[in-house]
Amino acid sequence: MPPENRLVLASSSPRRRELLARIGIVPTRIAAPAIDEAPLKGELPRVYALRLAVEKAAAVERAPDEVVIAGDTTIALGRRILPPAETEAVQRDLLTKLSGRRHHALSAVCVIAADGKVRTRLSDTIVAFKPLSAAEIDQYVACGEGLGKAGGYAIQGRAEAFVRFLSGSHSGVVGLPLFETRALLAAAGVYA
């Protein structure tokens, strides 16, 4: 990373830091944005994911020599945006809805370059879960790893065993699509 462009990760997610490290990027600074993540009335999932990534990046104060990167991962079942699993009951409901079905993991990335130019990319990954028994759902909920996660699961953990088909970016489902991220950072002068 050129010294004139310091990178700010607008996220408190350890997964996003780990994913950036996979491509040799270590943010200079971490800043968790505080924004309202409620979907707007009638908002479609793709628009929602991109809007949140842009709002997260814009919510972080940026020095003139800093580049900001933010991301959002949204799970969509058809045109419906699935919420994060804030409680075990919500998580159980989400996993029941995803059981035996295909869904979209939409992972949006926004980079605000040092010159203020805003660039975005969206990764759309199709994920199909096997039919899940009530016992499998109960066991997964009990392990605790999907709590707080979009769609109620963490693909990088035990839920990967539920995936019978995936088309797209595995890293995007985890939380930051590396192909798109690398391209955006290169365009902003952070990645060669």
Looking at the chain, the whole-number percentage of residues with pLDDT higher than 70 is 97
6-187 fold: Maf protein (3.90.950)
27 close to 18: Cβ distance less than 8 angstroms: no
When pLDDT is cut at 50, 70 and 90, the band that residue 192 belongs to is: low
When pLDDT is cut at 50, 70 and 90, the band that residue 181 belongs to is: very high
**Pairwise CA distance, residues 11 & 144, whole Å:** 21
**Pairwise CA distance, residues 71 & 56, whole Å:** 8
Q: Does 72 qualify as catalytic in the annotation?
A: yes
- Among the options 36, 65, 72, 93, which is catalytic? 72
| pLDDT given for residue 3 in this prediction | 41
Q: What is the mean pLDDT of residues 141-150?
A: 94
52 close to 72: Cβ distance less than 8 angstroms: yes
pTM across the whole model: 0.93
The tokens of 161 are what? 């065993």
Residue spans per domain, the chain: 6-187
The tokens of 139 are what? 């066991």
